[in-house]
Amino acid sequence: MVLSFASIFEGMGLVFKITWLVIFGLLFLLMFFGTLISIQFAILTEKGIQFKICCFTLAYVQWDNIVKIDCQRLESLYSPLGKIKLSWIILYTEVNQIPKEGGGNWKKPPWLIHYTKKNWRIVNEYARKFANCAQIIV
């Protein structure tokens, strides 16, 4: 016997079917827009780096305030099988800051940018031009 998606609703009333579709449709939209809103990005300019999400700015860090730029692998994703480490570009605004885990920036330093060769090349180029006091560790 093979069950299909339509057979789940056999014998159910029309009101139940419509209610079920509306509830799951709303949950899908909530998850979709929640994911869309939580995507973070960084805008680099001559004056600094602006960390943003869809609706507002999380932080603005001036190049003069950055004391060190480093690349590290940090625990970023968690699953029942273990913790997964991803590479991050870390922007320190104080010497004693310690990055604990990767992920997002939520108004607290050190600031993180996901590491790719392209991201590292761009951040490194801007830092050498505008961050006069920053120590860049490769």
Is residue 57 a part of any domain in this protein?
A: no
For 83, the domain range is 63-136
Q: Is 44 exposed, middle or buried (0-12, 13-18, 19+ CB in 10 A)?
A: middle
120 or 8, which is more confident?
Answer: 120
Q: Cα–Cα distance between 93 and 133 in angstroms, integer?
A: 11
Is residue 17 a part of any domain in this protein?
A: no
Q: Cα–Cα distance between 128 and 126 in angstroms, integer?
A: 6
Is residue 13 a part of any domain in this protein?
A: no
The pLDDT tens digits for 93-121 are: 887 788 877 777 776 788 999 999 999 99
Domain count, the chain: 1
Its pTM stands at: 0.76
The pLDDT tens digits for 64-79 are: 999 999 999 998 888 8
Return the percent helix, strand and coil in the chain, to nearest 5: 35, 30, 35
Is residue 27 a part of any domain in this protein?
A: no
